[in-house]
Amino acid sequence: DDALAFACRMPKAELHLHIEGSLEPGLAFALARRNGITLPYADEAALAAAYDFDSLQSFLDLYYACADVLRTPQDFSDLMLAYLERAAADHIVHAEIFFDPQTHTARGIPIGDVIEGLDAGIEEGRARWGIDASLILCFLRHLSEDDGFTTLAEAEPWLDRIAGFGLDSSEKGHPPAKFERLFARCRALGKPVVAHAGEEGPPAYVVEALDLLGAARIDHGVRSVEDPALVERLVREAVPLTVCPLSNLRLCVFPEMTRHTLPQLLAAGAKVTVNSDDPAYFGGYLNDNIRALQAAFHFDKAAWYRIARNSFEASFASEAQKATWI
């Protein structure tokens, strides 16, 4: 497939990747051994066999449990470098990478250890593969807004390493409105903000993310198609959607790939990008997502070119930097 080879080789940006979700079973067991931790699974195969999810929450339970092996700055650096190596192999030249500080600070890990470890990995990845990466601090929406304010205060000494802020974790029952004041504060710091919305939650959460949080991109947003007026708005305002096809399939947002709404959003003219979300858990990295889409939809080269171009246009890189890619 000519268009598939073209899409896989094309330089791209990845804008929706949770670094904790790139923790492969092999590295999880290696870090557990290094830190003297016992994982509740016999071996890597037993852990991988547990990746059988029926909802976002069933995934999150395991994702937070596995994150317990991450303890030292070196662990975070190793995790980052492992992802960047995979990203470079998929021709990703720019990545904006989510991390969940509250998952770590709640276990007594200082936020500075998390950020400095991840940042060391980014610098090493830049040196080895020339890949450009930055960090987006995500707040956990199942926790309180006050907890988010505490986390923001803890992160303050490292704000120069933070390219923006995001919102993730359990969507249902935790609407964007819950974080309106926190996100106003983030924007007042001069940083762009994004939010997961319309993954399992309704289109109304996408509207809230735009109107109440000032989200510059919507992470997932695939349920937006249930509200035609919203799709019109996303197109009119050129709101980027960071879509993650294998994630949606594995978390049962859609029963099969042929039912995914990405083609509909793309055809409507929405600024769709393709991303891997939590590649260790969902069966693949960015090019694996591209292959899965192509098997279902057989896009042409022009469509793949549009998607790659969208990824750069939707990024938070400087205009000068973007001009080197587009």
CB-based contact 24:321 (threshold 8 Å):
no
Selecting among 14, 199, 200, 208, the annotated active-site residue is 199
Residue 132 binding Zn ion, by CB under 5 A: no
Could you say which of Zn ion, ligand HPA, none residue 307 binds, taking C-beta under 5 to 8 angstroms by partner kind?
none
Residues 6+ apart with CB under 8 A from 46: none
Q: Which is nearer to ligand HPA, 4 or 175 (CB)?
A: 175
The mark string for 264-283 relative to Zn ion (x by CB under 5 A, - otherwise) is: -------------x------
Quote the CA–CA distance of 285 and 297 in Å, as a whole number: 19
CA 86 and chain centroid, separation: 15
Helix (H, G, I), strand (E, B) or coil at 241: strand
Residues lying near ligand HPA in the complex (CB under 6 A) are found at 18, 21, 56, 168-169, 196, 199, 247, 277-278
Quote the CA–CA distance of 102 and 79 in Å, as a whole number: 17
Could you say which of ligand HPA, Zn ion, none residue 294 binds, taking C-beta under 5 to 8 angstroms by partner kind?
none
Q: Is 199 an active-site residue?
A: yes
Q: Shortest Cβ distance from residue 319 to ligand HPA (Å)?
A: 29
Could you say which of ligand HPA, Zn ion, none residue 271 binds, taking C-beta under 5 to 8 angstroms by partner kind?
none
Residue 100 binding Zn ion, by CB under 5 A: no
Which residue is at the shortest CB distance from Zn ion?
277
Sign for the CA dihedral angle at 19, 20, 26, 30 comes to positive
Residue in 242, 261, 154, 149 with CA at minimum distance from that of residue 196: 242
Could you say which of Zn ion, ligand HPA, none residue 21 binds, taking C-beta under 5 to 8 angstroms by partner kind?
ligand HPA
How crowded is residue 109: how many other Cβ atoms within 10 Å of its Cβ?
20
Q: Shortest Cβ distance from residue 300 to ligand HPA (Å)?
A: 28
- What's the token pair of residue 73? 């700055």
Q: Which residues are catalytically annotated? A: 199
